[in-house]
Amino acid sequence: MSKRLVEKIKRKLYYAGYKNIVVKFENGAIVLNGELSSYEDIVKCGKLAVSKKSRGVVNRIRLIGYTPKPMRVPSFTDEKYEGKTPDVLIIGGGIIGCAIARELSKYKLDIILAEKESDIAMGQSSRNDGEIHPGIDLKLSSQKLKYNRLGNQMYDELSKELGFEFERRGQIVLYTSKKQSLVYPFIKLKAILGKIPLKNLSPEEVKEVSPNTGYQFGGFSCPSAGLICPYQTTIAFAESAAMNGVEIALNCAVTEIVNDGQSIKAVKTTRGAIMPKIVINAAGVFSDTVAEWAGDRFFTIHPRKGVELILDKKANQEYKLTDTVLGIIPKRGSNTKGGGILPTVSTNMILGPNAKEVIEKEDDKTTRADVEEIWQKQISVLPDLKRSDIITYFAGTRAPSYEEDFIVEHSKKIRNFIQAAAIQSPGLTAAPAIAKEIANLTIKAMYQNEKIKVLPNENFNPYRKPIPKISEMSSEERDKYIKQNPDYGEIVCRCEEISKGEIIDALRRPIVVPHIDAIKRRVRPGMGRCQGGFC
């Protein structure tokens, strides 16, 4: 079968104009080798090689004249973790890794989470719009839909336990023409099969919910959609994990994995070599690199960048543009859910994202063209938007495989290697469900490999107390806090009304990261209209 599959892929590439690409079948995957002068063509070859009869596509085609940038690593090294022998090593401190760490802390396990950056949630977990997706755009047979549906349902309880903001605002997808409304029966059928709540909206119903929209042809609503702050939610998972015994190793980049073809023997990092019983790959855009080092790579991450615009709080407070997520049906074959206009739990509004294939895995640059593309698209959805309300913008790089689906599995080749890889959108929504699955796989692997029956952690505390938000309190509540601690009465950030007391609280948390960006992610000083100009 592998020979027939290789020949089939060769023919597809040949007829598409790629005559010199070498195709092989290794480790259950299609492997591509060769050279091309266009990165767009390299990505196209990877997509053409996708087959349900292979585990994935390993795209090793080189771009002529291009030298990849090395992975960013900490500026220092030490031996802090040299010789450590934890039960579990989690590689990656985004929302997937942190949710896994918190889930595993429910058991009596020695766990280290290794993150190469100086804080958790420094990659795509903080560089997104924070939507908890309903999943209506996902393929019915996909891992994405499976974990998205389960994860979506978990956020109500998790927000109560972990003390992060979660608002189930719903989402409205607008028809951009009368013809588009004809597809609703098919969308409804998909919603029924996917167990996704859905309601058709007439033009009058759309106008009642959002009177300022630029499209008045009706649409449909997904009431299960919600909003969180992505980085504060990731921090909440990480702090809960740390409170329950997980060691969070920051500035700890994995640089090599020693394996004998059957199991991992050691994981070398910038802070010493670690010898874990189980290794979990939650490395985001570098998950294919980690899989290669571990000895079981069968997929390729081709980075996809999305840019988003943040609007001043007054844009929604004064003009009451929308209280729900607004979007349009994406073009067929698009790599994005279409982007949209989102209110946030911080009461700003976010526009975007777009979706661009990029060659660098850590490309977080924004361009004028990106900003203009997003603005022109979203101004058609809400014509009352004002360009002067844009206060900043950001970019995030996602981690899709060519199969465009999550990889959540115990390695078929390396007995102590578990993967939560190729997690792109809706990874934020799916994270808690993926974490449960990975925890189950880990417990099974501990017994299969080590004959260790993992017991529950009877001291597990599911609750985390958040930092108080002085600006959201009543006068009576605020006075009470200030009497207990006068620092809560000293305002440092006027735009966001953040007090000195809240900033000090951020430096006394279970995970202490004493730099300005980390404080901003925890309590928001410098995130208002002036962007730190008057703090």
Q: Which residues are catalytic?
A: 133
Closest Cα partner for 279 from 527, 92, 35, 122?
92
Give CA separation, 407 vs 91, 111, 152, 281, 402, in Å.
15, 22, 19, 10, 12
For 363-388, give the DSSP string. -----HHHHHHHHHHHHTT-TT--GG
As a dihedral over the C-alpha atoms of residue 205, residue 210, residue 212, residue 216, rounded to 10 degrees, the angle is -30
The single-letter code of the amino acid at 424 is Q
For 453, counting Cβ atoms within 10 Å of its Cβ (0-12 exposed, 13-18 middle, 19+ buried), the class is: exposed
Q: Are strands 247-249 and 254-259 parallel, antiparallel or unpaired?
A: unpaired
Helix axis angle, 95-104 relative to 230-243, nearest 10°? 30
Helical ranges in 26-170 per DSSP H: 39-48, 95-104, 143-162
Closest Cα partner for 234 from 115, 137, 327?
115
CB 437 within 8 A of CB 408: yes
As a dihedral over the C-alpha atoms of residue 322, residue 164, residue 520, residue 435, rounded to 10 degrees, the angle is -110
Long-range pairs, 383-389, Cβ under 8 A, ≥24: 383/212, 383/214, 384/212, 384/319, 384/321, 385/311, 385/315, 385/321, 385/341, 385/351, 386/315, 389/311, 389/312, 389/314, 389/315, 389/349
Does an H or E element contain 418, and which?
Answer: strand 417-421
